Structure 1
């Protein structure tokens, strides 16, 4: 436990030390350069008896009738449609920025009926629409399922989620999203983690590079007007490679389930004295077998016997003379020889005492 806590602290310390120059492209996104979500409805056919029950899934029946009707197969009755090799599915995809017509994209297929598995099926041509209702891609092809389901008369085994599948490059872009980036007079950069200090440093770095005139609009947005020497797209390519030093909020993140603790490099602790004591109670059951004497009347019985041991541990006080840095905090906690779970309790107590100058987030 002690070593686990120590390694967690060392990792957080190392992360803070190498937090030097970071490319602008790694901390911002460019306004307008984004993915668009697509959704569609379709049918998966060719399943080995693991599809929807048509009596319980009327949408599957209607879709199957409509598809066969368009292919010239008409006059279908309820008695003639008893297949369980078809499943109704929702098809989702992300349309990348600047995706051109004919480009392939990945799609995800999810069952919406009572199908047991989509393994071995084939997605029939399914249009994918955007939020505006227009069709931007069309998907079709054999699907790949990561999980499986095996069922017998008395037992069944399910591994993963066999009712969700994926098709790599399973859809083709049919319509492009109109966005002429080169015609813009300026572009905006949105910080992934809004911070006024980081935004100010980005604007200063761009201005000093001579690639454009940048100004901070708010803690999450920096606007750049490219210089007359380069085009807007060329300026974006050059600006995103500029290195800056992002500023981070002082934060302590604790995963109480695994005992993982991550402490940011900007965390500061006021002057506190820390003492951590523990009480260990050990309960051992040692049953004794009692047998009657030879040539006597009696029964063999088991007599319970319980042994209880109580161990007290007191590590004493460790004085942290504030304000202390991350390294001082790590050294102080390691000095009193505690584990990860005890460290979590100490950090919560320091926060309650008002000496932890950082956000404490427990996940």
Structure 2
């Protein structure tokens, strides 16, 4: 009896030499496609958020975009392989992470594998180059987690085109997001620079006049002058100013006028500023008995309701007074003592 065998029967198990392991360039390209878009967006948004006032609407936009980019990267690396079989980058490269028997790897194992890549990095990046010499092209993380990266040909040509189209769309979206964020950041910085320049110009023009009006008053208009000065002070500085005005009224009011001869802006933001002022003035009502004054002060300003107000006034050099148009001069030093001749000296 002759046994008849079906010559079309094929072996269902492929030998080991048929397995194709992913090359190092393919693995590197897949990693870049997986990580680079998210890393670019996160880096761009973090830099833009750093240059934006914390808590503003634009700061929240940058932080939200950064969070979305991080979440999308993690989903792509750890969850997408369980759904479609591979990450976006590995699908474009035509490779998959598998077990030594060729079975798919779950999300938990992929997560542990990504953390194990820290070992590849800690070993002076030797682990990342280990596939160049390993027979099965494994990194230290692959050796530790018992995984391999293999070339797969389970998709049709149209499916490959779809994956590449999706990858291209992701890269384009990341590039557009970075460009849009950069544009918003530039506009924000440009607006801040213009606002700071406007604030600097305002305080340079208004600051000296505000300090002059704050310190000047006359005997006939003292009530109105003091009320005007109180309106030029912030709520925090006003009680101190009122106490000084009350002390002046108790001591006896006399004409007091100041004018700024020079000033310099020390610092400025959109709603705060500091100035250094050199003041000159005169005190008294009798033209023949005027006292001329010089002083140096630091004035701190706050802007509320589009108005600059004095938040603090610090005297750096106490006022010096003099009469008849000349500053008061210190008395001359006493003459040196006459030398005493030594005892026993002749004439």
> Could you say which TM-score interval applies, normalised by the shorter chain?
under 0.3
Q: Which structure features the higher share of helix residues?
A: 2
Q: Which structure features the higher share of strand residues?
A: 1
Higher relative CO (CA 8 A, sep ≥ 6), structure 1 or 2? 1
**TM-score, normalization by structure 2:** 0.20
